[in-house]
Chain A
Amino acid sequence: MHRKWLSAALVGAAFMVAGATVAPAQETLKIGGIGPLSGGGTAWGLAAQRGMEIAIEEINAGGGFKSGGKTYKLELLMYDDQYTGAGGKAAAERLVNQDNVKFIVGPVGSPPALGVISVTNPAKVVALTNGYAPQILKNDTKDPYNFRIYPTNIEFGPPLIKWLKDNAPEVKKVAMLAPNDAVGQSVAGALAADYRKQGFEVELELFERGIKEFTPLILRMMAKKVDAFEFDGNSPGDAGLMLKQIRQAGFKGKVIQVGGPGSDEIIEIAGPAAEGFLSYGVFDWDTPAGKKLRPIYEKKYGKGIINQFMPAFYHTVFLLVDAIKRADSVDTTKVRDALDAMNGFDAGIYGPVKWTGKDFYGVNRQLMFTYYLAEVKGGKLVTKAKFQP
């Protein structure tokens, strides 16, 4: 009996050894993922995680990729940052020091992003973050290794506001409602300044995140005779509710969001009240890439509204992999330099991308791509204007 087991085990082991020697030298490259997986930002964190998972599965199913004479498959290690600076720092410490990860994608929000780069930059680990705070790029780090993979209103705000000025001359006074959380506070102030710079009057109201009844604030704004409402900085769910309540309160003017992903969710929540809503967008689900991604997503995670960070993080994995291929090495400095030279890269998601930001942040580390302004007509988004970076 024992002998039988032993021989079976030996045969098995022999096969495994043989298998290992026959297969081409293939290694696993670990990618760190960080995002809020608990608390109020969970929707964003999950979207980031799922986007990366889909991209990694796609790359691995195609046999991985080659760099420096080796073939790599990818593996995602995803950690929660609790949407706090301390959480981001802890996740990065673990990825960098314990998991020996050299490339991190995420987090989504500003406080964790700042926590992450305080760890990754000294360790020379490449971090591809999101987050709206200018300090993520604009700081006194020498020789940084971090990039921002999603545009902020500093980039797209002024052109969109100019469009509003040219195409809706009746709008003179804009009401801004935003939550007083990290996103709202960093977005709203800067955006209000942009509006004022272009000659608009702005009424800004920050509210405690979590309230669902905006009617009193909407009435307050209407009593101040505003011509338009602006939503940037809100979560899509809250923006949808505001839109519904604004129309129920009898407001007839323009409602716009200059930035903030999630028009689909806004339309879902607001229902018929979404008609005529103007929204900034970067990803169109009716493009070939969108039509390919949606069924994969729905098969894996079920039907439902898909957060727009999903394609953004899907895209980022391809951006990173392409940089590793071009660098022909997994050395972080070489990959970073390859990333710096990625202008014109096109993964079929956003069209060709470009690094910008030198003037404002002092480094060219802000990814930009084509964005557009769309209007809701018959429950669908119809593109009104395209903006090239």
Chain B
Amino acid sequence: MFNATILGQVFVNGVSLSAIYILVALGFTLLFGIMRVVNFAHGEFAMLGAFALFHLIKDYHWPWLIALPVGVVGVALASLVLEWLVFRWFYQRMFESMIGLLGLNMMIMFGAVLLWDVHERNIPSVSSEVLMLGDIIVPVDRLIVVIIALAALAGFYLFIRYTRAGLAMRAAAQDLEIAETQGVNTRRTYKVAFFVAILLAALAGALWGQIYAVSPFLGERPLLMAFVVVILGGMGSIPGAALGGVLLGFTESFVGTFYGAAASAFLSFGVVILLLVVRPWGILGTPET
């Protein structure tokens, strides 16, 4: 079974899975790192992003390249209302945020059930072409997803590294009080961070809906994955989310192909549990004092 073609295919699948896992996990880890909020409603923003893309394409017949950014930014902007109504109450209140946002998760999910009904929908593929690299098959729509995810990652990195808002975020994440005394407007920084986090979640969801399917329950799986990725990499750590996504994506692809689904599920959960016991702050996280 271990021949070059299959290994190559496993690699290609690993890349495509990793890209989407990283995208989902980035916003999750950002919210935690800066506001100490465990966003259990994260998957629901992914679901909203997917529905936005679905409606813009199916009902308004927008071209994909316009519908994707407009839908995703639209969801992130609209979510600022939720920031004001819900999230701001939970900043720096980690335990309360977990349970309170689980409540928000239920509200959005079942609101969506009332609004959209439960059946699964399909966003038409950008391309159903297939690229052949030797014997290895690369579906073009997956390739596009990987490219967009990489572009989003790069953009995010540049934002965090080179803009004033990014600097303020890093400062707030490191030490809130010192950042405030140095003149960082935390309220505004929180808003920007929230917007960016939801933008990433909605983008992840739209791409997820694109390659899989759209339904009100779409958010459950991305949330679980974000969770596992972030624990692996370290809660609040951005490079950690990238590393965690790659680890989980490749593990799932490799173990799933060679040892089956049950082995893959047990292994990823087992490793995360083990990691939590010996190094709860994750591979790249920092222990709290």
Contacts and interface: CB of A to CB of B under 8 A. Distances in A.
Given A211-B261, A220-B256, A271-B128, A237 B215 contact: yes
A240 B122 contact: yes
Nearest to B119: A305
Given A216-B253, A216-B257, A240-B213, A42 B125 contact: no
A269 B214 CA distance: 9
Nearest to A248: B139
A385 B235 CA distance: 56
B130 A237 contact: no
Given A207-B261, A237-B215, A271-B128, A215 B118 contact: no
Interface string B265-282: 100000000000000000
Nearest to A273: B128
A75 to B, nearest CB: 23
Contact of B118 (A43, A212, A217): A43
B117 A301 contact: yes
B264 interface: yes
Interface in B216-258: 217, 220-221, 224, 252-258
A307 B118 CA distance: 10
A265 B265 CA distance: 27
A33 B121 CA distance: 27
A220 B212 contact: no
A194 B137 CA distance: 34
Contact of B6 (A46, A180, A210, A223): A223
Interface of A is mostly: helix
Contacts of A250: 130, 137
Contacts of B139: 248
Interface in B92-151: 110, 113, 117-122, 124-125, 128, 130, 137, 139, 142
B122 A269 contact: yes
B260 interface: yes
Contacts of A205: 260-261
Contacts of A268: 120-122
Interface stretch (B9-17, B77-85, B170-178): B9-17
B1 interface: yes
Contacts of A224: 1
A38 B216 CA distance: 12
B10 A42 contact: no
Contact-residue bracket for chain B? 35 or more
B137 A248 contact: yes
B117 A304 contact: yes
B213 A269 contact: yes
B131 to A, nearest CB: 11
B214 to A, nearest CB: 10
A294 to B, nearest CB: 15
A361 B257 CA distance: 39
A213 interface: yes
Contacts of B118: 42-43, 46
A248 B130 contact: yes
B14 to A, nearest CB: 9
Contacts of B1: 223-224
Nearest to A210: B221
Nearest to A216: B256
B213 A43 contact: no
B253 A42 contact: no
Interface in A187-227: 205-208, 210-213, 215-217, 219-220, 223-224
Contacts of B17: 213
A208 B257 contact: no
A219 B10 CA distance: 8
Nearest to B265: A208
A24 B254 CA distance: 72
A337 to B, nearest CB: 38
Contacts of B261: 205-208, 211, 217
Nearest to B264: A216
Given A206-B261, A269-B213, A236 B120 contact: yes
B262 interface: yes
A345 to B, nearest CB: 30
A241 B221 CA distance: 15
Contacts of A210: 220-221, 224
A16 interface: no
A219 B221 contact: no
Given A210-B220, A240-B213, A250-B130, A302 B117 contact: yes
Contacts of A307: 119
A210 B218 CA distance: 9
A270 B119 CA distance: 14
A202 B167 CA distance: 58
A208 B224 CA distance: 13
A168 interface: no
B121 A271 contact: no
Nearest to B121: A268
B137 A249 contact: yes
* Most B CB within 10 A of own CB, among A38, A205, A211: A211
Nearest to A215: B13
Interface in A318-341: none
Given A43-B118, A43-B119, A305-B120, 20 more contacts: A46-B118, A180-B262, A206-B262, A210-B220, A212-B221, A213-B252, A216-B256, A216-B257, A219-B6, A220-B257, A237-B213, A240-B122, A240-B213, A248-B139, A248-B142, A269-B121, A269-B122, A269-B213, A304-B117, A304-B119
18 contacts: A208-B265, A212-B208, A212-B221, A215-B13, A215-B253, A216-B10, A219-B6, A219-B13, A220-B258, A223-B1, A237-B215, A240-B122, A249-B137, A268-B120, A269-B213, A270-B122, A302-B117, A304-B117
The 10 closest A-B pairs by CB, nearest first: A216-B256, A237-B120, A207-B261, A216-B257, A212-B212, A248-B139, A43-B118, A305-B119, A42-B118, A219-B257
